[in-house]
Amino acid sequence: MNNQSIGKTFLQELILESEVTRRYLEVVPFEKAHFKPAEKSETLGRLAIHIAEITAWWTSCVRDEKLDFINFKPIALDTSKELLTYFDSLLAEAKEALLHVSDDEFTKQWSMSYGDEVLFTLPKYQVARIFCMNHLVHHRAQLGVYLRMLDIPVPAAYGPSADDDMVTLIHNFKMV
């Protein structure tokens, strides 16, 4: 049985997923930030920024009782460098929060709201799993579709992508 804290277990998973996420964010072509695969779709630039923003939800989940989107102001970024700097800063905060959180914190309730309208309330453990991790993976996969449609090589996630040279991938593969 693993005696590691819940926060440190999530931290290990976040570190692994953030390696993949960073590879995806590195190849976002901001000169095509307004690309949308369909009218109802989000733009490429906004999707990439949202993927970075999700990382901040870890910190909110651990340290707060709710996230109120009425106070949310989307950040405007124009370059890959700005996007990666933003992502890295949010990731550093999330790592610090997960490193020091007690297991009891994950049994507490957390809400997502828009002003007085509560969108949902769940135990923080479920919020971490569903809205911090699964939500990230979902949108990262969407980003992969955008990249494919733009004929940009899609980075490897849990194994090689169709764009990977297997010899290079095996040589560079590392487990954090």
- Per residue in 111-143, pLDDT (tens digit) is 999 999 999 999 999 999 999 999 999 999 999
More confident residue, 163 or 38: 38
Tell me what percent of the residues of the chain surpass a pLDDT of 90: 83
| Residue 102 belongs to a domain | yes
- The mean-pLDDT minimum among 21-35, 60-74, 102-116 falls in 60-74
Supply the pLDDT for residue 73. 87
Q: Summarize pLDDT for 64-106 with one digit per residue, the tens.
A: 999 998 988 889 999 999 999 999 999 999 999 999 999 999 9
| Residue 1 belongs to a domain | no
Domain of residue 56, residue span: 6-172
Nearest alpha-carbon partner for 89 in 123, 65, 55, 57: 55
| Residue 159 belongs to a domain | yes
Q: What is the CATH number of the domain that holds 120?
A: 1.20.120.450
This prediction has a pTM of 0.89
- Cβ–Cβ under 8 Å, residues 114 and 68: yes
